[in-house]
Amino acid sequence: MGKQFTLTSTDKFQLGAYRADPSGAPKGGIVVIQEIFGVNHHIRAVCDRMAAEGYAAVAPALFDRQVKDFQSGYSPDEIAEARKFVANPDWNAMLRDTQAAIDELKAPVAIMGFCMGGTIAFLAACRLNGLSAAVCYYGGQIAKNADEKPKVSTIMHFGEKDASIPMSDVEMVKKKRGADCEIYVYPDAQHGFHCDERGSFHEPSAKLAWQRSMAFLQKHMKK
């Protein structure tokens, strides 16, 4: 359904990306931001799903500055290897590359990110230009950046049983950003509950979060 292509960042760095387009005229554009596992099968599947929903979707390969076309599965060894990429993340570089993906699409444009990408989606909503809305799935560093205020409508999804994001962090995000963001907690969900290729996939939570996200995008991405 989709295609691989190249984006060029403002510092002239070229990175790979995956793009999926709807069969008809797009309702808007969605930038899909990866987890630590790269633009792998799951992230490409999210882009394809967004295209089926009527949006043009682009997923920039945000680890290309370190390793070209890094992709990973979800075995313990693969997870340990993927974590090395975020031991000392260059958020500014990843945001520059995210901006290149935003600029590739025609307005209205929203951003949707998972795990590391959930944090980037939040930072993009606060700092980048050209967005109409942001969807953040279990962004672990949102709490550390919760003093920043999104410039666009933002929705967040967290799992109550997430071992890597304590509920105290979610409560802090609610306290600081609850007035200007929609924040949902899913009681039976762990980290990565959206991904149907992981052991932590929780179908009821994933389905509800997706329904909420699609309704949210429809509301905030008017042409």
What residues does each domain of the chain span? 3-220
| pLDDT per position as a tens digit, 84-110 | 888 888 999 999 999 999 999 999 999
Is 191 part of the annotated catalytic residue set?
A: yes
Q: What is the mean pLDDT of each run of 10 residues along the chain (223 residues)?
A: 93 98 96 97 98 97 96 93 89 97 97 98 98 98 98 98 97 97 98 96 98 97 76
Of the candidates 115, 136, 181, 195, the residue annotated as catalytic is 115
pLDDT recorded at residue 222: 75
pLDDT recorded at residue 223: 62
Do the Cβ atoms of 204 and 187 come closer than 8 Å? no
Name which of 83, 87, 3, 90 is nearest 47 in CA terms. 3
Tell me if the domain spanning 3-220 has CATH number 3.30.43.10: no
Of the candidates 42, 157, 191, 194, the residue annotated as catalytic is 191
Do the Cβ atoms of 154 and 122 come closer than 8 Å? yes
User: pTM (2 decimals)?
Assistant: 0.97
pLDDT recorded at residue 197: 96
> In sequence order, which ranges of 128-202 are alpha helices (DSSP H)?
167-177
pLDDT recorded at residue 86: 87
Of the candidates 21, 64, 162, 169, the residue annotated as catalytic is 162
> Would you call 170 exposed, middle or buried from its count of C-beta atoms within 10 A (0-12, 13-18, 19+)?
buried
pLDDT recorded at residue 88: 86
